[in-house]
Amino acid sequence: MRKTVKWGGIIVLVVFLGIQLVQPERTNPPVDQAKTIEAYVNVPPEVKSILERSCYDCHTHHTKWPWYSYVAPASWLLAQDVKNGRSSLNLTTWGEYSERKRIAKLDQICDELMEDAMPIKPYRIMHPGAALSKAEVDLICSWVEDERDRLMEADTTSSPAQERE
C-alpha cells in the first residue's frame, strides 16, 4: 500500500512538472494611444480608476500577469480568460471599432455590470478589490449613457461628406 502511494505521488509530481512545459501566450501588445477608449470618449478620472482596477487586466493590453499565471493549469485558464476578454471588449483598440459598435460596446459594459456578470466571479475571488459597489456600477452606467448619447448625436449630425474626410 505504501509503495502504491509513493509511486502515485511520484507520477502526480512528474505530470505536474511536465505540464509546466506547456505555457500559454501571455502578451501585452504595444498600445497605440490614438486607438484607446480615452481617444474617442470622455473618460472622467473616477470612471478611469474603476476601469483600471476592475477591467484592465482582461480588457486591455495592460494586463498584469500575476505569479500564478506562470503555473499550469492556472496559466491556461487565465490566458484563455484574457484572450476571451480582449476579443469581447478591448479598451486599448477601441478606435478599431465602428461608431455603431462603440455605442453597442458602451451599452454592453453597463448591461454586464448590471447583471453582475463582470468582472467574472473567479477574477473577483482572486482580486477582491475589483468588485464594484452599486454606486460604482451606477457611475459607470451614467457615464455610458452620457457617452452613448453623445456618440449617437454626433453620428446623426455628421454628413456623408464629413465621414469621408
**pLDDT tens-digit map of 99-148:** 999 999 999 999 999 999 999 999 999 999 999 999 999 999 999 999 99
- What average pLDDT does range 1-18 have in this prediction? 84
**pLDDT tens-digit map of 38-72:** 999 999 999 999 999 999 999 999 999 999 999 99
- Domain with 86, as residue range(s), is 2-164
State how many domains the chain has.
1
Determine the Cα–Cα distance for residues 23 and 73; give it in Å rounded to an integer. Answer: 9
More confidently predicted of 164 and 83: 83
Determine the Cα–Cα distance for residues 153 and 121; give it in Å rounded to an integer. Answer: 36
User: How many other CB atoms sit within 10 Å of the CB of residue 138?
Assistant: 14
CA distances from 79 to 14, 48, 66, 67, 121 (A): 23, 24, 11, 13, 16
pTM (2 d.p.): 0.82
At residue 157, the pLDDT reads 59
Examine the pLDDT at 149 and tell me if it is beyond 70. yes
Examine the pLDDT at 88 and tell me if it is beyond 90. yes
